[in-house]
Amino acid sequence: VEESSSKRSKVEESSSESEPDSDSVVEGHAAVQALDRALLLGGPRFRAITQHLAQLLTSSARFLSSTAQPSSGSGAGADSSSSPPPRLPLLTDLPRCAPPVPHPHAQPIARVPLCSLERFYQEHMATGTPVILTSLTDQWPALTRWADANYLQEVCGGRTVPVEVGPHYLHDEWSQKLMPFSTFLRKHILQSTNTEQSSGAADCTPASDSTRAGGSSAESEPSINGSHDIPVGYLAQTQLFEQIPRLAEDVEIPLYCSLSSRATTDEQVKVNFWFGPMNTISPAHTDPYHNLLTQVVGEKYIRLYAPIYTAQLYPHQGSKLLENSSQVDVEHPDLERFPEFASAIPQECVLAAGEMLYIPPKHWHYVRSLSTSISLSFWWQSD
């Protein structure tokens, strides 16, 4: 019996000292990708357990990657894979551009550092009045962590995410693709800025809709930097916190979202994640929710139109999916087709990192990023 125990002890000791090989890492990442596809494409059944398994496997894959030894079949070149990858840049060091010339009749949006719940409800929610809150994210770790591409790569790199490819969702060339977050980060965020970095200048003017419509093939698809090499890629309106709860630990749900009997818990607040390069665009549209659009990294130019101007925004007709979207390219309006648009009076602002913009329900809003940008939108419904 003692001899058997001794042998078992030696086997356990040997097993504990063994190193995982690179094949184990590959298998772990493949399993996470399969679970991500189930989360993104599947229904609600087994969603909770799938999320839990994906988190466990992500943590395991991250550990295996840090301790893995080259597999026996890796060959002589395997030693080079053990060297640490090069450091990625800060997103805040990537090119940015100036905001457009102000609209001649635009009204300002008030900026306030602090606002009590009572005041916010009475002066903004109840009246449908936009406001910019400037001091509510000061303690968020996300403001510094998410500006570091290395942190995002560590936390999200192996996860599969839905990326919008093309100028914007109303464009004929628009599509959605599933890809690893690391691929999105490398191709659509870091590589897409090479032209601006090498020239020292950034093209700040997006093409008009009529110009964009000129390309008909994938090869002629416009890119954010004016070249035709890398199409626009936008991680837009995705519930990334459900996939990667670790990101949610870097922010706090604003207390204003509790100002409704329908949103009494954080779980009832819908959090959308937006990550894209300079000049990504959300065409003018409306949402049925109260919205706190929160800028975490970079800057965005935003133009708002009150619901009274709905007719002047010429909503799409004949499509239930697009009836909340405007036909007008608000930065390059075709006034021959949409003459009444000229009478719509907007509000506009540049939303900087750390600021929240309250957008009331049914307010039309157009958004264009002036730099590499990460934003969150907190949606909730009132009574």
Distance (Å, whole) CA 230 – CA 256: 39
Query: Where does the chain show beta strands of DSSP type E?
Result: 111-112, 131-133, 160-165, 175-180, 233-238, 270-276, 281-285, 290-297, 300-305, 347-351, 356-359, 364-369, 373-380
Across all residues in the chain, what is the average pLDDT?
81
pLDDT on residue 222 = 44
CA angle in degrees (0–180, nearest 5) for 314-315-321 = 165
Q: What is the CA radius of gyration of the chain?
A: 24
Distance (Å, whole) CA 371 – CA 298: 6
Confidence of residue 248 (pLDDT cuts 50, 70, 90): very high
The residue with greater pLDDT, 64 or 58, is: 58
> Which tokens sit at 332?
């390059």
Confidence of residue 256 (pLDDT cuts 50, 70, 90): very high
Confidence of residue 86 (pLDDT cuts 50, 70, 90): confident
The residue with greater pLDDT, 64 or 43, is: 43
Tell the burial category of 244 from Cβ atoms under 10 Å away from its Cβ (0-12, 13-18, 19+): buried
* Phi and psi torsions of 372, nearest 5°: -55, 135
Distance (Å, whole) CA 115 – CA 97: 31
The residue with greater pLDDT, 206 or 171, is: 171
One-letter amino acid for residue 2 of the chain: E
pLDDT on residue 269 = 92
What spatial distance separates the first Cα and last Cα of the chain, rounded to whole Å?
Answer: 72
Neighbours of 136 (CB within 10 A): 19
Averaged over 88-106, what is the pLDDT? 94
In this model, does residue 24 exceed pLDDT 70?
no
Distance (Å, whole) CA 93 – CA 86: 16
**Which range, 25-29, 76-80, 98-102, 148-152, is most confident?**
148-152
| Strands 347-351 and 373-380, bridge-based pairing | unpaired
Candidates 373, 295, 376; CA nearest to 96 is 373
Q: pLDDT for 135-153, tens place per residue? A: 999 999 999 999 999 999 9
Q: pLDDT for 344-368, tens place per residue? A: 999 999 999 999 999 999 999 999 9
In this model, does residue 165 exceed pLDDT 80?
yes
**Contact (CB, 8 A) for 246 and 155:** yes
In this model, does residue 266 exceed pLDDT 90?
no
**Which range, 65-69, 232-236, 262-266, is most confident?**
232-236
| Strands 131-133 and 111-112, bridge-based pairing | parallel
Confidence of residue 221 (pLDDT cuts 50, 70, 90): very low
DSSP, residue by residue, 181-211? HHHHIIIIIIGGGHHHHHHT-----PPPHHH
Q: pLDDT for 337-348, tens place per residue? A: 999 999 999 999
pLDDT on residue 172 = 81
Distance (Å, whole) CA 32 – CA 38: 10
pLDDT on residue 230 = 82
pLDDT on residue 51 = 65
Q: What percent of the chain has pLDDT over 90?
A: 58
Q: pLDDT for 189-207, tens place per residue? A: 998 765 444 444 455 655 4
**Contact (CB, 8 A) for 282 and 236:** yes
pLDDT on residue 366 = 98
* Phi and psi torsions of 193, nearest 5°: -100, 0
pLDDT on residue 225 = 45
Distance (Å, whole) CA 230 – CA 320: 32
